[in-house]
Structure 1
């Protein structure tokens, strides 16, 4: 597939993203064809040479689908949060559930910003809106026992619609729509196109989704311990001691690297795992004291924990 097959505005966005990359953007297609529009009709991956492969499904609105994924690539290289899954619950199905739902919620944070950009660029037409509604009807199951999935997909639908109920979703999905609407309102209240705003929105969304699951008699998911989310720090904070911003926690999960219980650096303000520590042995009180008194930047470099600078 060649970029020349797309509208001039999409070609311009393609060139804008290409100019920011060291490698090349390579367009690929999947054989499946869908007669609607959905956010999962595109994706991308990087290869060892730094090229970005954008994978597209045959949809009714190929220009929208490619433009949407290009916005995701642009988001990733400018603001993208660094999310890692360094531990295991020892229950593969639970690990997978945490990872899939966490990534879906990160995607909703991205969509909260990307859809604003796509509307500002006039990339959303009545035909695209119609086909997106058809996609929701095809992809979101209506049975009440699919509540966790319904919430995730309806949250994405609300990011597309700007919070509007485009197809009487509140009747079709009842409890899930109310839950998704609550998440969406909270997301838009605090979401800003800055590393700090994105970090905060992701942590809040993880926490609130887990709380919703528990309120509806589903298993709460331990996002704060299980997932490492790179901290966002100012130059001043990098000069503070570790103790002023973080605490060190012996997690209830095993490290995928050491196969022993993992130690993590955890933010004091949001309680979110900021990164796994390298230590594979039992940490003594003396080691704790030494760690806590180190400057944050020195400690992060020593422990090979990535961070983003506050802007």
Structure 2
């Protein structure tokens, strides 16, 4: 393990988060130094009540550590959560869908995280250069032949969308021109997704959820245009629901359609029933029917419950939309 001396702003951020978190924040660093930034160089987890950050590359440790700390900060401050509760029965397909959902949702959170990092002095010209070099080092140029994407098209699209979010404030025009030169197909598609993502301010929890719903739909539309299999993230991925106080008192049938799914719960592998929110058609909860129970009766009983009763019964976290 490499030993690093954290910048003062990193120490300040750790101290700020400790005001909201009782556990320890532990940082572990490897010794590799490749000379560019990718978010795959760091990972974090909660373990035994502590928050563990593992940095595998020390090219820009304070940037990477602060990035994970701000992810944790959003988690502590009621950011909507992405949950992956189902399986297709094919673990390879599950891995691909889950990884795509996580990367897209992280990009939505990054719109806030990059801003916070910049405001707190973690992003400067050197970090921007290292981030740009990381994109070029890990995303191969598109082939000159043909007008459609190759097998790396989806990876390029997700990576470039995240990079465009990173470079929104500084060097945006210059960086966009470079991406369009090296990756014309994927960059043009990423710019369309960026427009959808940034249509929301993303400063309130329900805005992050709204952006995710729209981005998942647009991403599937782009895959379909490229004649690639869709991910169906509006159905497969669960997003923390956001309600007004009034909506919590309504019957479930007034806000949700409960749909029997071809997917199964990845906990007990029983058939999954998905609560699709009527206003945005997004998966908001997943339930299963107990063995030997009558599925029709269970669903009717669920529809009869109030939204608050259901959320408490299935132990589903939800957020309250502030009164206007």
TM-score, length basis structure 2: 0.89
For residues 11-52 of structure 1, what are the alpha-carbon distances to aligned partners after superposition, in whole Å with 9 as ceiling and x for unaligned? 11111112211101000123433211222222210002x100
Maintained 8 Å contact 2:251/2:304 = yes
- Counterpart mapping for 1:91-170 below 5 A: 91-143=90-142, 144-145=149-150, 146-162=152-168, 164=172, 165-166=174-175, 168-170=178-180
Maintained 8 Å contact 1:79/1:194 = no
Maintained 8 Å contact 1:242/1:291 = yes
Q: Does 1:175 align with 2:185?
A: yes
For residues 20 and 210 of structure 1, the distance between their equivalents in structure 2, rounded to whole angstroms, comes to 37
Maintained 8 Å contact 2:87/2:264 = yes
Alignment coverage as a number of residue pairs: 310
For residues 50 and 270 of structure 2, the distance between their equivalents in structure 1, rounded to whole angstroms, comes to 36
For residues 213-245 of structure 1, what are the alpha-carbon distances to aligned partners after superposition, in whole Å with 9 as ceiling and x for unaligned? 111111011212222222111211101111111
Partner-residue secondary structure (3-state), 1:20: coil
Residue 24 of structure 1 corresponds to which residue in structure 2? 24
Residue 231 of structure 1 corresponds to which residue in structure 2? 241
1:238/1:7 CA distance change after superposition, 3 Å: same
Maintained 8 Å contact 2:34/2:57 = yes
Deviation at 1:186, TM superposition (A): 1.2
TM-score, length basis structure 1: 0.93
Aligned CA RMSD, in angstroms, stands at: 2.0
Deviation at 1:62, TM superposition (A): 2.0
Maintained 8 Å contact 1:2/1:27 = no
Partner-residue secondary structure (3-state), 1:134: helix
Structure 1's unaligned 5+ residue stretches are none
Residue 271 of structure 2 corresponds to which residue in structure 1? 261
Q: Does 1:298 align with 2:309?
A: yes
Residue 186 of structure 1 corresponds to which residue in structure 2? 196
For residues 271 and 230 of structure 2, the distance between their equivalents in structure 1, rounded to whole angstroms, comes to 21
For residues 176 and 264 of structure 1, the distance between their equivalents in structure 2, rounded to whole angstroms, comes to 32
Deviation at 1:291, TM superposition (A): 2.4
Residue 15 of structure 2 corresponds to which residue in structure 1? 15
Deviation at 1:256, TM superposition (A): 2.3
Deviation at 1:68, TM superposition (A): 1.8
1:286/1:278 CA distance change after superposition, 3 Å: closer
Deviation at 1:265, TM superposition (A): 1.4
For residues 70 and 289 of structure 1, the distance between their equivalents in structure 2, rounded to whole angstroms, comes to 43
For residues 254-302 of structure 1, what are the alpha-carbon distances to aligned partners after superposition, in whole Å with 9 as ceiling and x for unaligned? 2223323211211111111111114235655454433223211012212
Further displaced range: 72-81 or 103-112: 72-81
For residues 248 and 10 of structure 2, the distance between their equivalents in structure 1, rounded to whole angstroms, comes to 40
Residue 73 of structure 2 corresponds to which residue in structure 1? 74
Maintained 8 Å contact 1:37/1:59 = no
Partner-residue secondary structure (3-state), 1:249: strand
For residues 220 and 20 of structure 1, the distance between their equivalents in structure 2, rounded to whole angstroms, comes to 40
Residue 318 of structure 2 corresponds to which residue in structure 1? 307
Structure 2's unaligned 5+ residue stretches are 143-148
Further displaced range: 119-128 or 208-217: 119-128
Maintained 8 Å contact 2:239/2:283 = yes
Residue 83 of structure 1 corresponds to which residue in structure 2? 82
Deviation at 1:2, TM superposition (A): 9.9
